[in-house]
């Protein structure tokens, strides 16, 4: 294997994420608008829907990661089931008439995410050489965000030029969703299985299987998750400041392309300057971008703040996961990513509700300021607590 070239299966997984996010972003940007208009709810319900949707599959993520470690072939199998479930549930959101039905479908969508995320990230780590893990995960996140951009632009074209109703746009997300499964089934190949003793494979699904430094890293990630509430709140802010539906979608597109460019750059650079350095810089930048969002009170300034947020957030998206892949034992890689996604997902409900509640009872500026303060604390803990251990040196 060429150590510095992305394997074809890594590229195929990137294309899978590109198509899946294309389908997803023909739906997701409409969720806060549906909640605020058609369903007659507000930021607290948005926080509840997004929080439960992200957390509903938390234990699925852990189980799927560990299950994928047991036997060769199970990582791809779980990915097929997970992507299939999500791309079945999303088009049905075109017919919602109550926020409880939307919550159910959004939870099914995220359950599919729960089944696929840890096995997919572990498979990326299996396929790519350790020397280019930052590049591989950065490429994947870039493709993910690029798909979000294309999906959003398609939604804009359908609304603005073809004058389709929102329900039709959501329904047509089934087309790229079907392509996801075709590319995954025929384009992704798992590497030969590692020879592991059966007893080692069946080690308990416990927090104790992770190293102490890895556990500290995950604890800080939990705190950071309370800061990075759903990005749909940025869309809700745009809607409050008077942006039209098409402008809201363009704002989402700008966010996606900013994250995509930064993810690819950050992943590539991190293989040279250190993944922990790029991750820490991204977290500090995230905190500062939320302070900027706190100060925004006009729609024009929101565009600048969103680009800044996307660039600084995207910078560390790939490296944050590459650290997990790099330091997890090869035989436990799925479990490590399972715990990673569980740590993030389990924090989603309280994070979404907390952000939405602060917004509702105070204002949007206070919510963004509160999140920025938590992000700054998380970045300080990451730098001076988690990364002080020799495990993370020189990564």
pLDDT-based confidence at 72, cuts 50/70/90?
A: low
The residue among 54 and 100 whose pLDDT is bigger is 100
pLDDT of residue 201: 47
206 occurs within a structural domain? no
Cβ 319 vs Cβ 392: under 8 Å:
no
- 364 lies in which domain range? 8-190+211-389
Q: What is the pLDDT of residue 325?
A: 72
Q: Is residue 197 part of a domain?
A: no
- Look at residue 202 and tell me if it is in a domain: no
30 and 156 Cβ atoms separated by less than 8 Å: no
pLDDT, mean over the chain: 79
Contacts of 246 (CB under 8 A, 6+ apart): 156, 159, 160
CATH of the domain at 168: 1.20.1250.20
Do the domain assignments include residue 395?
A: no
In a domain, 199, yes or no: no
Which letter, b or e, does each residue of 169-182 get, where b requires 16 or more Cβ atoms within 10 Å of its Cβ? Answer: bbbbbbebbebbbe
- Is 80 exceeded by the pLDDT of residue 333? no
Residues whose CB falls within 8 Å of the CB of residue 157, separated by 6 or more in sequence, listed in order: none
Least confident residue range of 78-82, 138-142, 384-388? 384-388
* pTM for this model (two decimals): 0.70
CB-count burial class (<10 Å; 0-12, 13-18, 19+) for 3: exposed
End-to-end CA distance of the chain: 22
- What pLDDT, in 10s, does the model give residues 238-287? 877 888 877 887 887 888 788 888 887 887 787 777 778 888 888 888 88
Residue 307 has pLDDT above 80, yes or no: yes
> 190, 76 in Cβ contact below 8 A?
yes
- The Cα-based distances of 22 to 226, 251, 392 in angstroms read 27, 16, 35
pLDDT at 202 over 50: no
Listed in sequence order, the residues at least 6 apart from 206 whose beta carbon sits closer than 8 Å to its beta carbon are: none
Evaluate if residue 128 carries a pLDDT over 70.
yes
Confidence band for 38, pLDDT divided at 50, 70 and 90: low
Most confident range, picked from 99-103, 216-220, 232-236: 216-220
The domain tally of the chain equals 1
d(CA 111, CA 288): 32
- State residue 17's pLDDT score: 93
Residue 66, Ramachandran bin (φ over 0: left; ψ between -120 and 50: alpha; else beta): alpha
Among 140-154, 179-193, 194-208, 268-282, which stretch is predicted with the lowest mean pLDDT?
194-208
Q: Is residue 88 part of a domain?
A: yes
Is the Cβ–Cβ distance between 364 and 238 less than 8 Å?
no
Alpha carbons 166 and 168: distance in angstroms, whole number: 5
Residue 230 maps to a domain = yes
Contact 363, 59 (CB under 8 A): no
- pLDDT over threshold 90, residue 12: yes
Residue 196 lies inside a defined structural domain of this protein: no
**Residue count (the chain):** 395
Q: Are 109 and 290 in contact (CB under 8 A)?
A: no
């Amino acid at each position: 294997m060429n150590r510095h070239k992305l394997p074809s299966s890594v590229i195929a997984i990137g294309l899978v994420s590109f198509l899946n996010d294309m389908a997803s972003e023909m739906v997701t940007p409409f969720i806060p608008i549906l909640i605020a208009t058609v369903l007659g709810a507000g930021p607290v319900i948005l926080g509840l829907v997004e929080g439960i949707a992200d957390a509903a599959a938390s234990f699925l993520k852990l189980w799927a990661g560990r299950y994928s470690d047991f036997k060769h072939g199970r990582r791809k199998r779980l990915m097929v089931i997970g992507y299939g479930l999500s791309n079945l549930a999303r088009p049905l959101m075109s017919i919602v008439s109550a926020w409880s039905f939307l919550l159910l479908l959004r939870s099914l969508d995220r359950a599919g995410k729960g089944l696929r995320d840890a096995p997919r990230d572990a498979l990326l780590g299996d396929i790519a050489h350790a020397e280019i893990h930052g590049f591989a995960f950065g490429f994947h996140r870039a493709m993910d965000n690029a798909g979000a951009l294309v999906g959003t632009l398609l939604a804009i074209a359908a609304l603005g030029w073809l004058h389709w109703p929102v329900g039709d746009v959501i329904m047509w997300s089934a087309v790229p969703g079907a392509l996801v499964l075709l590319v995954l089934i025929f384009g992704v190949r798992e590497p030969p299985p590692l020879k592991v003793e059966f007893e080692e494979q069946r080690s308990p699904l416990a927090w104790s299987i992770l190293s102490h430094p890895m556990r500290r890293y995950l604890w800080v990630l939990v705190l950071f998750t309370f800061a990075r509430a759903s990005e749909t709140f940025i869309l809700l802010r745009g809607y409050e400041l008077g942006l039209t539906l098409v402008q809201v979608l363009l704002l989402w597109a700008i966010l996606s392309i900013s994250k995509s460019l930064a993810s690819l750059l950050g992943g590539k650079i991190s293989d040279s300057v250190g993944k922990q350095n790029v991750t820490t810089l991204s977290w500090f930048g995230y905190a500062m971008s939320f302070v900027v969002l706190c100060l925004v009170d006009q729609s024009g300034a929101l565009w600048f703040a969103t680009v800044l947020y996307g660039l600084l957030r995207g910078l560390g998206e790939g490296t944050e996961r590459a650290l997990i892949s790099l330091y997890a034992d090869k035989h436990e890689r799925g479990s490590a990513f399972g715990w990673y996604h569980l740590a993030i997902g389990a924090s989603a409900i309280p994070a979404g509700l907390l952000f939405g509640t602060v917004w509702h009872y105070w204002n949007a500026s206070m919510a963004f300021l509160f999140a920025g303060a938590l992000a700054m604390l998380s970045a300080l803990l990451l730098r001076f607590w988690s990364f002080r251990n020799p495990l993370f040196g020189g990564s």
